[in-house]
Amino acid sequence: MNATAARTWIDALRPKTLGASLCPVVMGAALAWNDGVFAWLPVLAAFAGACLLQIASNFANDLFDGLRGTDSGERLGPQRAVGSGLVTPAAMRRALVLVLVLAAIPAVYLAMHAGWAFAVIGVLGAISAVAYTAGPAPLAYIGLGDLFVFAFFGPIAVGGTRAACDGAWTTQALVAGLAPGAIGVALLATNNLRDRVGDAANGKRTLVVRFGEQFGRGQIAFAHAVAAIVPFVVVVALGVPKGALAAALLAMLLMPLSMSIMRGRDGAALNRNLAGFGAMLYLYGIVFAIGTFVSGGHR
């Protein structure tokens, strides 16, 4: 594989978005540590499973959007592997199948270690990752992509990582998971706001296409606000260590990301906001975890 081909496949992974996998896993691990049940292997398995399912979703998105012509040369974001002709559909299909097979390994381990719920999550996650842009009614094309991102990279990921350690699905983890789910939605909605014209022309009826530009801008600001509020809820009402409020502070410091969108930033300029929300996902989980470690303790 030459350098150009390697770069193409790395870009197809969409590494800037993989914080959607890291953030909730780090948060769930911190909550498990605070509860005195943290275990490295289950947490690593949870991360591997989440990351592989996200990569599968990215590959499926690249493949099926490319086949539909949604990722045309007129797109405002980075070029896609299949849409640009740099990777053949057959090669992307093989890569997608390989990633899904690999994702089954941590799912099976977690199901055996922490309960059958992980088998269900693995199966539903794999189906949703492909159905995001494939099939007669792709989730992203009928306005359900936001729900998929919110659930699987929010409460399910945080709660699942915490449960991976001892099988217990806690209210703390599920509520804390609202935050990374919301940031993931802000990231997706920003992408959909940028691409709304091309999406509408290709029949991709995202929420922004369905309900309009102003709805999309408000959705992003609301999701950002949720990320800022959730740490206060879990600290005040659910007994999470006070250091987790550092994540709320981070979200507030990054409010210019959503405020610039509310003020009308549009087109290719939104790529800066996408990069910002991607970085926010990485940082939010790390700050939440560090704050929990510093101010908390094994129960």
The per-residue pLDDT for 154 is 96
Q: What are phi and psi for residue 21, nearest 5 degrees?
A: -90, -40
User: In the Cβ-directed half-sphere of 28, how many Cα atoms lie within 13 Å?
Assistant: 38
- The average pLDDT across 162-183 equals 97
Regarding predicted confidence, which is higher, 20 or 48? 48
- Please report, to the nearest 10 degrees, the dihedral formed by the alpha carbons of residues 135, 137, 138, 144 taken in order: -160
Average confidence (pLDDT) over 30-49: 96
- Least trusted range by pLDDT, from 1-15, 16-30, 78-92: 1-15
Identify residue 269 by its one-letter amino acid code. Answer: A
pLDDT tens column, 209-228: 999 999 999 999 999 999 99
92-134: per-residue pLDDT in tens? 999 999 999 999 999 999 999 999 999 999 999 999 988 988 8
What does the alpha-carbon distance between residue 240 and residue 210 come to, in Å, rounded to a whole number? 38
Amino acid identity, position 78: P
Q: What gap in Å lies between CA 284 and CA 287, rounded to an integer?
A: 5
Question: What is the distance between the alpha carbons of residues 46 and 118, in angstroms, rounded to a whole number?
Answer: 10
Q: How confident is the model at residue 82 (pLDDT cuts 50, 70, 90)?
A: confident
Asked if pLDDT for residue 76 goes beyond 80, the answer is no
What's this model's pTM, rounded to 2 decimal places?
0.92
Q: Which residue has the higher pLDDT, 123 or 135?
A: 123
CB 243 within 8 A of CB 296: yes
CA distance 46 to 53: 11
The predicted structure's pLDDT at residue 73: 54
Which residue in 161, 157, 163, 162 sits closest to 181, CA to CA?
Answer: 157
> Within 13 Å of residue 117, how many CA atoms lie on the same side as its CB?
15
Q: For residue 79, is pLDDT > 80?
A: no
Q: Residue 298 pLDDT more than 90?
A: no
Per cent of the chain over pLDDT 90 is: 72
Residue 67, pLDDT score: 84
What letter does residue 78 receive in the DSSP assignment?
P
**Domain range annotation of the chain:** 16-295
Phi-psi sector, 88: left (phi>0), alpha (psi -120 to 50), beta: beta
Structure letter (DSSP) for residue 79: P
Q: Using the predicted structure, report yes or no on whether residue 297 has a pLDDT greater than 80.
A: no
Per-residue confidence (pLDDT) for residue 299, from 0 to 100? 52
Question: If you average pLDDT over residues 145-150, what whole number do you get?
Answer: 92
Residue 74's pLDDT band (cuts 50, 70, 90): low
